[in-house]
Each structure stands twice: as structure tokens, then as C-alpha cells.
Amino acid sequence: MKKILLTGSRGFFGSRFIRSLGRDYEIIATTSDSLKITIRSDVENIISAVKPDYVVHAAAIAETDFCNKNPERCRAVNVEGTMHFADAVKKTGSRLVFLSTEQVFNGNAEAGPYTESDTPVPDTEYGKNKLEAESYIISECRDYLILRCTWMFGVPSKGLPVSPNLLWNTMQMILKGEPFKVPANEYRGITYIDDMLDRFNTILGLPEGVYHTGSVNNMSRYETVCHIFDALGIGSRIPELVIRDDEKYSGSPRDVRLDTSAARGLGIVFPDTAESLSRCISENYLRV
């Protein structure tokens, strides 16, 4: 059985990764308690002891506001922590799989969808960290995959944590019962975490490189939220609860969609966001 050393195993992605891939791989799951990724020798030691086939590096401080307010701490984790893995895998030949983000394109003047050959211009500390880590991996690693992911969604599941995501955030606002604003000038991919994990075995076998992965979503954020209401069976409550915000990003729409055709051409095909939201809602019996 091939071995995967996983970081961030208590997170939204990592905890579900173990549940999805744990039968097919021996997963050595690390947490911020068991492995200090900011300490180079600790990373070197575990990589040389385990000699994994893959390192799936999902640990990160992924909160944009927190990173903007704590740039040094976040760079130490998001950039230096990644550098330690990029250096350590040189000795074992392990493939480094790095979870990056569409947020590397946040500051681009031109609108998405972006391909892998577009030059990213991040404008947040988190986006800058991810891009710097990517560049280091590309320059130093002999075998790597960099997966630029769109915003992933899922719902709480027994024993598994949930990060803020569009489906869960929307459901929480519905439960509050107060009207909330949703931008009509924002476009981004939204991917069901289960769809990502269902494809991960194939993803691990992709040729080395940088890939844009996830569901295509050509709906605005407002339209996506309305779709969630419809899929939940409460479309009639949209006028009461959803305030269409035409002001935010009105000067220049925010469009960080990813062009995923390169990965699609290699067999990594996702359903679109509308279909995945509907399926997640029905699979989890969320329709009212």
C-alpha cells in the first residue's frame, strides 16, 4: 500500500481526506501538535523516517483577514513550512502535493477565468504566501503537484469539522432569519469537497505541474445563493432574506474563476457548481 504523509489532518480538507482515501493508502496523519512544520529539522526527520510516496500538504493558515493582520506568523507557516517540505522530499523522492488557491489571482486587473499560464497577482497576505510557496516548490522540487483549488463547500458531518463555506454560511444566515446582502458582481468557482476527494486518487497520478481544479461556476455569487435556496426547497423565501448587492465590486466585478480545462483534458472532470450544490443538499437530506 502506498504511503501518504498528510498535514492539516484535523482541518476541513484533511479530515475528509482520511475518510475518503484511508482505505486505499496508508495515511500518516499529522497535526499542529504532532508536527511543527515551522521547524525544518522536525519536517526533515519525519519525511526521512516515513519515506512517503506522497506528501499531501494541506496545513495552512487559510483565513485571509488573520493573515493580513499577522503576516509574519502566517508566512512562517504558509511559506517557510512549505519550503521545509519542498527541501525534505528531495532526499526521499516523495511527490509533494500542495494545496494552493484561486486567491493567487485576487489582485489581477483582468477578469477570470484564469489559466495556469496567466500571471497571478495576489493582493492579500494569504494569496502572496501561497504564490511564494508555489514558486519555491517549482524551483526546488523534482516531483510536485500544485493544485489551485476554488472555494470548497461541505456540511458538518459526525466528527468532522467544517470551515466557512458558501453552502454552510448561507444555511446559517437562513437559520438566523435576517435579510443578508449577497454581491451580484462576484464570480468564483465553488467546489463540493466530496467531488474533490472522489477524484484525488486520479489527481495524484497527474503529470508534475500546476493545475487549476474544481467545478466551473458561471453564476454570480447572488445567483449561486439563490440556487442554494431553490435546492433547499425554499426559493419562495429569497425576496424576504436575500438582498441583491449591486454596489459591491460595481466598478470592477470580482472574477476569480479558474479555467480548469488543462486538468479536464487529463480526465479530472467535475460537475458544475449548481449540480454539486444540489447533490450535496440532497445527499445530506437538507431539503425542507
Ligand X SMILES: NC(=O)c1ccc[n+]([C@@H]2O[C@H](COP(=O)([O-])OP(=O)(O)OC[C@H]3O[C@@H](n4cnc5c(N)ncnc54)[C@H](OP(=O)(O)O)[C@@H]3O)[C@@H](O)[C@H]2O)c1
What residue ranges bind ligand X (CB under 6 A)? 7-8, 10-14, 31-32, 37-38, 58-62, 77, 99, 101, 149, 151-152, 163
As given in the structure block, the three cell numbers for residue 215 are 467545478
If DSSP states are collapsed to H, E and C, what string results for 25-61? Answer: CEEEECCCCCCCCCCHHHHHHHHHHHCCCEEEECCCC
Residue 237, amino acid: R
Q: Where are the alpha helices (DSSP H) in 112-181?
A: 125-140, 166-176
d(CA 250, CA 247): 5
Ramachandran region, residue 72 (left: φ > 0; alpha: ψ -120 to 50; beta: rest): alpha
Contact 256, 188 (CB under 8 A): yes
DSSP 8-state code for residue 258? B
Least separation in angstroms between residue 39's CB and ligand X is: 9
Least separation in angstroms between residue 10's CB and ligand X is: 3
Least separation in angstroms between residue 247's CB and ligand X is: 26
d(CA 280, CA 266): 25
Q: Which is nearer to ligand X, 5 or 59 (CB)?
A: 59
Nearest 5°: the CA angle 97, 116, 254 is: 105
Least separation in angstroms between residue 236's CB and ligand X is: 30
The residue number whose beta carbon is nearest to ligand X equals 11
**Strand pairing of 254-255 and 190-192?**
unpaired
